Amino acid sequence: MKKIFLMLTLSVSVFAANAQEVTGETATVIETKPTTGDYYQGFTRPLTFDRMIPPYALEVTFNKTVHVIFPSAIRYVDLGSADLLAAKADGTKNVLRVKAALRDFSRESNLSVITEDGNYYTFNVKYADEPVKLSVEMTDFLHDGEAVNRPNNALAIYMQELGQESPLLVKLIMQSIYKNNDREIKHIGSKRFGIQYTLKGIYTHNGLLYFHLQLKNSSN
């Protein structure tokens, strides 16, 4: 009888000890709270909405392809998830085709594009059975008619081959040279087989050289 009593006593003691250990472990659990964007006890600054580049809304589906036409050649494309498929249209540089990789994906994804003129585009992408906008044309923010259509902090994306020059400024300089159409240099060119090639001017700005060339074709 004493053996049975001792065994029961030992079992109760072990159970109580285990209960204390579990209780002790449970007490150390830290409750998580929604993030505020303020990390490291206030030693960082949270990103506010005036620093955000607003995304465009884009709908895609499985049975149809959405085409997005950009004002300049596409340099970079990033897909937020494997639910999306995207590639440049064959034979083009500025047309992106996008579609859903599977039917009825439920979670929203995103898409980011950088073009050679230094512009950055971002899209929030959702699935739709019948998207209304299957062909979308993105316009240059300088010429789309809106007074305010980018955040004040939006910056151009710089390209390696242009050094420290903004691609947008390079584009404006070339447009200005083309529009003025001045001939600063004479007697430098070549003409053969009915094709004439003429150098009209050389310009420089911020370490870049701009060659103003003219090509005439009087052959068949």
Tokens read off for 72: 């300049």
Q: Mean pLDDT in runs of 10 for the chain (220 residues)? A: 52 50 51 60 76 89 93 91 92 90 91 88 94 84 50 59 79 90 89 91 89 91
Tokens read off for 18: 């285990």
Q: What angle do CA 119, 73, 82 make, to 5 degrees?
A: 80
Are the C-beta atoms of 164 and 158 separated by less than 8 Å? yes
Question: Looking at residue 177, what is its pLDDT?
Answer: 92
Question: Looking at residue 4, what is its pLDDT?
Answer: 53
Helix (H) / strand (E) element for 213: namely strand 208-217
Q: Closest Cα partner for 72 from 126, 121, 23, 131?
A: 121
Strand order through the sheet with 56-60: 56-60, 120-127, 109-115, 74-79
Question: Looking at residue 169, what is its pLDDT?
Answer: 83
Helix (H) / strand (E) element for 85: namely strand 84-88
Distance, CA of 35 to CA of 179 (rounded, Å): 53
User: What CATH homologous superfamily does 49-137 map to?
Assistant: SARS coronavirus X4 (2.60.40.1550)
Please report, rounded to a whole number, the percentage of residues in the chain having pLDDT higher than 90: 37
Q: Sign of the CA dihedral 25, 28, 34, 35?
A: negative
Distance of CA 32 to the CA centre of its chain: 31
Question: Looking at residue 20, what is its pLDDT?
Answer: 46
Burial zone of 100 (CB within 10 Å; 0-12 exposed, 13-18 middle, 19+ buried):
buried
For 166-179, write each residue's pLDDT tens digit: 777 888 899 999 99
Question: Looking at residue 39, what is its pLDDT?
Answer: 63
At residue 135, the 3 state secondary structure works out as: strand
Distance, CA of 122 to CA of 80 (rounded, Å): 11
Burial zone of 96 (CB within 10 Å; 0-12 exposed, 13-18 middle, 19+ buried):
buried
Q: What are the boundaries of each domain within the chain?
A: 49-137, 160-217
For 32-58, write each residue's pLDDT tens digit: 665 655 566 667 777 777 788 888 999
Question: Looking at residue 23, what is its pLDDT?
Answer: 46
